Amino acid sequence: MLRHATLAVLALAVASCAPKARPLAGAPAPAELPRTEVASRPQRVVFRWEYAEESVGARGEGVARISPPDSARLDFFLDGGLGGGYAILIDDALTVPGGDAIKRLLPPAPLLWAALGRLAVPALADTVARVSGDTLRADIGGNDGWRATFVSGRLTRLDRVDGGRLVEWVSRSAEGVVRYHHETARRTLGLNVTRTEEVSGHAASIWNR
């Protein structure tokens, strides 16, 4: 009983590390969110990445191969030729072969899509939106859902909300800097896009799992 009580206290302490979701700022707006699909033609996106979790860290090169409307493969290579891994994202399904190393590094599918500029969250009721200047913010699903931020129609941030707290999020800058952070697990993944190019297509073999 004492062990269970201690675990409950620890769980409460960890949960309290996540900040509360403050009320949305701005004037009420219609709950019609901008369309944020990936590019209409296949793309190849090259980036640098860096991961940190307490005293553990890693970095390297990466490439995302994106096929519209809803497929992407991301490959991560450690600096120094020390290995790597990959993930396949098709619609709302994220597959990460080869153990937990890469899986732990990545956010869940909706946040990973947000890193690529696409809003792809589960359908939930009670969407509330507010606008301030060129910024639109929307709560999707209330205290257990998502908070999306758009600037001039571009998705710039997506938060996962759990119990009214912002547990994990992805932000995107106009300069191609993407940051994922998990508040309670203290995990951070940064991506810095160095090149984006349109391609004729991708080999069918890259989608093999």
pLDDT, tens digit, 9 for 90 and up, residues 132-182: 999 999 999 989 999 999 999 999 999 999 999 999 999 999 999 999 999
Total domains in the chain come to: 1
Q: Is residue 195 part of a domain?
A: yes
* Predicted model pTM: 0.88
- Per-residue model confidence (pLDDT) at position 3: 37
Range of the domain at 54: 27-202
* 209 in a structural domain: no
Write the DSSP string, 79-137: TTS--EEEEEEETTEEE--SSHHHHHHSPPHHHHHHHTT---PPP-S--EEEEETTEEE
* Residue 52 belongs to a domain: yes
Say if 20 falls within a structural domain.
no
User: What tens digit of pLDDT does each residue of 6-34 get?
Assistant: 333 333 344 447 899 998 989 999 888 99
Helix (H) or strand (E) holding 152: none
Host H or E run for residue 176: none
What 132-137 contacts at long range (C-beta under 8 Å, 24+ apart), as own/partner pairs, is 132/25, 132/26, 132/27, 135/26, 136/26, 136/29, 136/33, 136/34, 137/24, 137/25, 137/26
The CATH number for 61's domain is: 2.50.20
Residue 53 has pLDDT above 50, yes or no: yes
Q: Give the pLDDT of residue 99.
A: 66
Averaged over 67-77, what is the pLDDT?
A: 95
16 in a structural domain: no
